[in-house]
Structure 1
Amino acid sequence: MVIGMCFDTTASNTGKLNGACTLLEKAMGRNLVWMASRHHKFEVLLAGVYSVCLGTSTGPEILFFKRFREKWTEMNHTPEARSTPLIIVSDAIKAFIKCQLEVRHYRDNYLEFLLLAAQIAELQVDVAIRKPGARHRARWMAKAIYALKIELLFTVNKIIFNLNSSRITRYSTFESVYHLCLSSVMVFMQAHC
């Protein structure tokens, strides 16, 4: 017997009149337990972080990502060697990354994220940073991957990023909150992988 539903929190699922959940309840003739997906909150969190760091936009693309992709051929793709780690990563997250790198992933972007996260966590992985792909505002994993690529490549490509004082302030904000992106996506991936 069906007693509940787990779903993404989109209007097509949660709409009061024609949402899939409402229609299922009507078809079954009874109320069901609604369990909105815990994963959606990480998408909302990433969207908020990017709005704070890069400003809001009415278009489907994030312009900073577009410029990052356009300048890709001019960029140095080797992250700068660091004397101190970018962030302190717990042993549990490092173990999770190592474990997940041994698993076959059905989505290339999960694997790419893990490889970039491994570099951030200073794990010994041999990976070339790939040219950025999707930059659509709705692609939460693309946002997470861009955050990691920007962090890894920013210091060796400051001139290409052409920063003026307002952009530097915005980047400082980005740098301070991107750690939140990393943590959020790691939790999301633990739930999905």
Structure 2
Amino acid sequence: LLGIPVIKDSTGMSQHNAVIKLLDEWEVTDNVVGMVFDTTASNTGRWKGCATSIEFTLDRAVLWLACRHHMYELHVKHVAALSTLLPSHYLLDYRELLELTVLFLGGTVYPFKFRKSVAHQHARFMAYSIYFLKMQLMSQRLNMTDDEAGKVKRMSTFIAVFHSRAFLRSRISSIAPSMDLKYLTDMNIYAKEDAEASAVAIKSVSNHLWYLTEEAVVF
């Protein structure tokens, strides 16, 4: 840890300036071989992204070790946009997603109880998955119209069968590339069941195919 700089905003250039300043102060600029970052526009933007700008300043390419979690968060967000039943801002965790997925698929979780959703100041993409699964598991007790029930079942099936496994395993770098390709293959197969949802997911995946680059093959 070289430092914890305070920056005026979260733009790519502000982040770039802070990182380069620290590298220069510690005289380790020539030792940089890779960057770890979330895939927000402020990091990966073509012209003003932090990662892009750092490479430009270094005048050489470095390994981009981008977080794949964000990619799968966007996939489910885009598919969920087909429905309009979700509130935003929930504090959620990975264990709850796993437990709800197992229950939806007919498995057993012991001990288990539904957790109360807690308001949070930042939107959490995992809320899409957990909220839909909870609604489906409690659908017999909820007063939903036929249209709402159909949307909930549609999303819950997509999440439990495809999204949860891919999202929860996306942090394992050794299998991440193969998981990305399998997810894309699964979406093409899923088109036979739900062409609209499949098309939205494939479009989201296609926006992130730069993850599968020759530079990242060693990982």
Short-chain TM bin: 0.5 to 0.7
Match of 1:144 in 2: 129
Task: Provide the aligned C-alpha RMSD in A.
Answer: 3.3
| 1:81 paired residue number | none
Distance between the aligned counterparts of 2:100 and 2:167, measured in 1? 12
For residue 9 of structure 1, the aligned residue among 16, 34, 39 is: 39
CA gap of 1:34–1:142, structure 2 versus 1, over 3 A, is same
- Paired residue secondary structure (1:129): coil
Query: 1:146 is aligned with what amino acid?
Result: Y
Aligned to 2:69: 39
Query: In the superposition, relative to structure 1, how do residues 132 and 190 fare at CA in structure 2: closer, same or farther (>3 Å)?
Result: farther
Secondary structure of the residue that 1:49 maps to in structure 2? helix
1:20 Cα deviation from its structure 2 partner: 1.4
- Equivalent residues in 2 for 1:151-190, closer than 5 Å: 151-154=136-139, 156-157=140-141, 160-163=142-145, 165-179=146-160, 180-188=162-170
SS at match of 1:5: strand
Q: Does 1:65 align with 2:47?
A: no
Among candidates 101, 120, 131, match of residue 117 of structure 1: 101
Q: Is there any run of 5+ residues in structure 1 with no aligned partner, and where?
A: 56-63, 70-106
TM-score computed with the length of structure 2 as normaliser? 0.51
User: Which one is further off, 108-117 or 13-22?
Assistant: 108-117
Q: Which structure would you say has the larger RCO, counting Cα contacts within 8 Å and 6 or more residues apart? A: 1
The answer (yes or no) to whether the contact 2:101–2:133 under 8 Å persists in 1 is yes
Structure 1 residues 176, 111: closer, same or farther in 2, change over 3 A?
A: closer
Separation in 2 of the partners of 1:145 and 1:16?
Answer: 33
Equivalent pairs: percent with the same residue? 28
Q: What are structure 2's unaligned runs of at least 5 residues?
A: 1-30, 174-219
Task: Quote how far apart the aligned CAs of 1:46 are.
Answer: 0.7
Structure 1 length-normalised TM:
0.57
